[in-house]
Amino acid sequence: MLDVETLHPSLLSAADVALWRSLAASQVGFANPLMGPDFAQAVGKVREDARVAVVRRGGETLGFLAYHRRPGGLARPIGSPLSDYHGLVSRPDAGLKADDVLRAAGVSVFRYTGLIDPHGVFPAAPESDRTAYLIDLTGTSAEAYLEAVRVESPKKIKNYRRLDHKLDREAGPLRLVAGDTSREAFNQLIDWKREQLARTGGHDFLRADWTRELMADLFVQRDGELRGLMINLYAGDTLVSGHFGIRQGAVYHPWIASTNPAHAAWSPGQIFFLRAIAAMPELGLTRYDLGPGHDHYKRAYGLNTATIGEGAATAASIGGRMAHSMESVWSLAGAHGAGPVGQLRRRMDAIASTELTMSGRVRDFVEAVASRAHRRQGDHPEA
């Protein structure tokens, strides 16, 4: 019989943290920084509703599920919507099933958007699969990888390299600064991203205090298993493009990709990627994990892919059965597809994950509806 202890990440024992790290490191799918205890503890510093279900049987610890406990027995992945990957990190031979774990944890439904499940803990057929894109240099060199990128898109890469030389000549000498500690540059990346989201009608996940606070905490983290990493491209002294995200070991997962609007004609985001990939060995990185999404740059540079699940798991309980019925209605309506219902559901989930107050959710939902109506009238945002 399962024994599930639910606690705030800050209350995890040193033994549990060490075991969690070991389990994550033993499975390639769990190796992303988002899947470990350090990310859960970082989120716990800015979210009181952060929880970890520590799953045991017969006194043996089998696995860990990190989530946010929301009203009505609903659980969302910890750090959502910043958590592009999530799941139950467990022993491969634990024989766990999500419905039993959720029931023991007192959770009715766990709604996921980037499920990693190598041990088959969750239902075998998630409602929808998504594709995540990765730059993986394992077993190859940066030069060989860049050549593979060029072979896939020869005309585009030739043009980007031409623009690289043009930007260097016209705006100032280009230099990539990895591990950039400039607070001014960090704030600028945030501002550019928020302006882009407003312009394109995307959900502003950076409006919430907790997301900005989490990123600010990680930005100043200089040691430990998990830390923030900002990589920027400058033309002379002018910031033209950059990424900020989290790093653990040789894996980097950016959250923010921003470019200087004044330099858009040179495609600085594309130039950035070519130089960042070339710099990965020097930075000690083997994986640059771009996460899921349909951004054209992810497909162009992320030649390696992973399939992740989107859907919901429900508990083996009365509350779980009720939640399952509601999830089935959404699924029949197309909530996990690419159509308008699916887009609406994902937007609602993003809003509910980020905004912790009812007034904030209502405000963002009204803005989302207005933005969609605006785009339908022909004012298409930039890609």
The answer on pLDDT for 331 being more than 80 is: no
The answer on pLDDT for 277 being more than 90 is: yes
Question: What is the model's pLDDT at position 354?
Answer: 78
| Structural domain includes residue 259 | yes
Residues 144 and 124 in one domain: no
Domain termination residue (choose one: 321, 336, 351):
336
> Position of tokens 């983290």?
221
Mean pLDDT, the chain, as a whole number? Answer: 87
| Structural domain includes residue 44 | yes
| Structural domain includes residue 110 | yes
- Contact between 24 and 17 under an 8 Å Cβ cutoff? The reply is no
For the ranges 148-152, 155-159, 363-367, the lowest mean pLDDT is seen at: 363-367
- Contact between 31 and 22 under an 8 Å Cβ cutoff? The reply is no
Burial 76-107 (b: 16+ CB within 10 A, else e): bbbbbbbbbbbbbbbbeebebbbbbbbbbbbb
Higher pLDDT, 131 or 377: 131
Confidence of residue 81 (pLDDT cuts 50, 70, 90): very high
Confidence of residue 329 (pLDDT cuts 50, 70, 90): very low
Q: How confident is the model over 164-174, as a mean pLDDT?
A: 97
Question: What is the model's pLDDT at position 203?
Answer: 86
Residues 64 and 180 in one domain: no
Residues 178, 182, 185, 190, CA torsion sign: positive
| Structural domain includes residue 18 | yes
Measured between alpha carbons, how far is 102 from 311 in angstroms, rounded to an integer?
15
Q: Which of 33, 158, 148 is nearest to 86 (CA)?
A: 33
Q: How confident is the model over 166-173, as a mean pLDDT?
A: 97
Residues 16 and 121 in one domain: yes
Question: What is the model's pLDDT at position 164?
Answer: 97
* pTM score: 0.87
Q: How confident is the model over 85-90, as a mean pLDDT?
A: 97
Q: How confident is the model over 371-375, as a mean pLDDT?
A: 53
| Structural domain includes residue 298 | no
Q: For 277, left (φ over 0), alpha (ψ -120 to 50), or beta?
A: alpha
Backbone angles phi, psi at 349, to 5 degrees: -65, -40
Question: What is the model's pLDDT at position 353?
Answer: 72
The answer on pLDDT for 142 being more than 70 is: yes
Residues 102 and 153 in one domain: no
Output the domain CATH number for residue 330.
3.40.630
| Structural domain includes residue 244 | yes
Backbone angles phi, psi at 227, to 5 degrees: -155, 160
Tens of pLDDT, residues 210-266: 999 999 999 999 888 899 999 999 999 999 999 999 999 999 999 999 999 999 999
Residues 260 and 143 in one domain: yes
Confidence of residue 361 (pLDDT cuts 50, 70, 90): low
Residues 270 and 323 in one domain: no
Residues 146 and 206 in one domain: yes
Residues 114 and 19 in one domain: yes
Residues 112 and 145 in one domain: no
The answer on pLDDT for 297 being more than 90 is: no
Confidence of residue 363 (pLDDT cuts 50, 70, 90): low
| Structural domain includes residue 346 | no
Q: Which domain holds residue 183?
A: 139-285
| Structural domain includes residue 41 | yes
Q: Any idea how long the chain is?
A: 383
For the ranges 9-18, 149-158, 187-196, 292-301, the lowest mean pLDDT is seen at: 292-301
Residues 29 and 93 in one domain: yes
Give the total number of structural domains in the chain: 2
Residues 197 and 263 in one domain: yes
Domain termination residue (choose one: 285, 318, 349):
285
Residues 151 and 67 in one domain: no
Question: What is the model's pLDDT at position 334?
Answer: 52
Which residues are within 8 A (CB) of 74 and not within 5 positions of it... i.e. 6 or more apart? 107, 108, 109, 111, 323
